[in-house]
Amino acid sequence: MSHETILLVDDEEDILELLRYNLTREGYKTISVTTGEEVLKKIDSIKFDLMVLDLMLPGIDGLEITRIIKNNQATSNIPIIMLTAKGEEADIVTGLELGADDYITKPFSPRILLARVKAMLRRKGIAPTEAEEIIDIHKMVIHPGRREVSVDGKLIALTYTEFQVLYHLAKKPGWVATRSQIVDAVRGTDYYVTDRSVDVQIVGLRKKLGSYGKLIQTVRGVGYRLVEEDHDKK
């Protein structure tokens, strides 16, 4: 049985009940709230391992909640699965840019929801293997065990997805990774995502890495690579 706690956020009681029923049946503990304001009240008082978050909330909406959660160092590593309505591609992209880790469109299949939740929690809890070595490149230190990235000795707060993208590129500097290869490395082969979703993760990474962001190069029509040598810093 699972022991993880999942925070459910939706203003529709029937959706909350559907989520509660399926997740508790799998052994997860659930906490349900209906507004963004309630989420903010509970951030510091409860510990949860994952959040299922409806974007369309009254008052403080799901996008703002995502921004707050991911900008708080104490909660930035908590995975967020967004619940969205069909046709809300712009909101999905914005949510991914803000640091959300996955999304499911309504109406959703409970089986797909459970699969996404299990996959996200499994990735969060995976211990590093011997192959997941600490990478030191371009004055960037990437520590997979701690899930930490430092640049010039300063820690950089990255989301789960941003970290995975950077780690994937840094393992083979100079090699070009296609968008589909990046998706497979971050999400697994069963995850549907648009090219735009990968692009926004790269944009977020470049911003957070500051002057080092230019080391992530776009290979037009193919994908991205982390350059082998930073000639400007020699």
To the nearest 10°, report the CA torsion of 77, 69, 167, 210: -140
Helix 195-209 with 179-186: angle, nearest 10 deg: 80
pLDDT band at 162 (very low <50, low <70, confident <90, very high): confident
pLDDT band at 124 (very low <50, low <70, confident <90, very high): low
More confident site: 6 or 158: 6
The 10 Å CB-count burial string (b at 16+, else e) for 197-230 is: bbbbbbebbeebbeebeebbeeeeeebbbbeeeb
Please compute Rg for the chain using Cα positions.
18
- Give the whole-angstrom CA distance, residue 47 versus residue 6: 9
Element (H, E) at 97: helix 89-98
pLDDT of residue 191: 52
Element (H, E) at 68: helix 62-71
CATH 1.10.645.10 fits 135-233, yes or no: no
Domain ranges of the chain: 5-125, 135-233
pLDDT of residue 194: 60
* Mean confidence (pLDDT) of the chain: 84
Query: Beta strand 223-226 with 177-178: parallel, antiparallel or unpaired?
Result: antiparallel
Instruction: Determine contact, residues 46/35, Cβ cutoff 8 Å.
Output: no
Q: From its phi and psi, is residue 165 left (phi > 0), alpha (psi between -120 and 50) or beta?
A: alpha
For the segment 64-83, the average pLDDT, to the nearest whole number, is: 87
Helices (H) and strands (E) in the chain, counts: 8, 12
Q: How many CB atoms lie within 10 A of CB 88?
A: 17
What CATH number matches the domain at 5-125, 3.40.50.2300, 3.40.50.2000, 1.10.40.50, 1.10.3720.10?
A: 3.40.50.2300
Predicted confidence (pLDDT) per residue in 18-66, tens digit: 999 999 999 999 999 999 999 988 887 888 899 999 998 989 999 999 9
Over 90: is that where the pLDDT of 119 sits?
A: no
pLDDT of residue 127: 47
